[in-house]
């Protein structure tokens, strides 16, 4: 069965500092991997996705993520965080050939000025 673990429930970083949010997945084959962001009272917005090819993927808002098959990880990074990045971030895994997504529990990002 597919599963996603986001080890950090909360993370606080200073504005301008770098960010890395961790994501580990469990899946029997090569999955589709996603990062979504959710601002308070809003739906989920797709930041980036990995299907195949280059293991470093670029997304919107300056985010990137790296797929590491050996570690079953898909960590999200941003070199310099802005106050507007404060939100909850979800990692998700999907099966090839299907659309169903399994989400992690999320990481709440706080940005301090």
Q: Which residues make up the interface to another protein (CB under 8 A)? A: 4, 32, 36, 41-46, 49, 51, 90, 92, 94, 99-106
Least CB distance from residue 15 to another protein, whole Å?
26
CB of 5 to another protein, least distance (A): 11
For another protein, the closer CB: 15 or 73: 73
How is 35-62 classified by DSSP, letter by letter? EEEE-TT--EEEEEEE-SS-SEEE-GGG
Q: What is the DSSP letter of 22?
A: -
Q: Which is nearer to another protein, 43 or 70 (CB)?
A: 43
Nearest distance from C-beta of residue 38 to another protein, angstroms: 9
3-class DSSP assignment, residue 69: helix
- In the block, which residue shows the tokens 């990062």? 35
Q: Are 95 and 32 in contact (CB under 8 A)?
A: yes
Between 13 and 37, name the residue whose CB sits nearer to another protein: 37
């Amino acid at each position: 069965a597919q599963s996603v673990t986001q080890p950090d429930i909360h993370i606080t970083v200073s504005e301008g500092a770098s960010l890395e949010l961790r994501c580990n997945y469990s899946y029997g084959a090569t999955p589709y991997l996603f990062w979504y962001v959710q601002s308070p009272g809003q739906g989920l917005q797709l930041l980036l996705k990995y299907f195949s090819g280059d293991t470093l993927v670029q997304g919107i808002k300056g985010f990137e993520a790296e797929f590491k098959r050996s570690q079953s990880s898909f960590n999200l990074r941003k070199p310099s965080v802005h106050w507007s990045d404060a939100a909850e971030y979800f990692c998700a895994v999907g099966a090839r050939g299907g659309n169903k997504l399994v989400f992690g529990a999320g990481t709440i990002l706080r940005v301090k000025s």
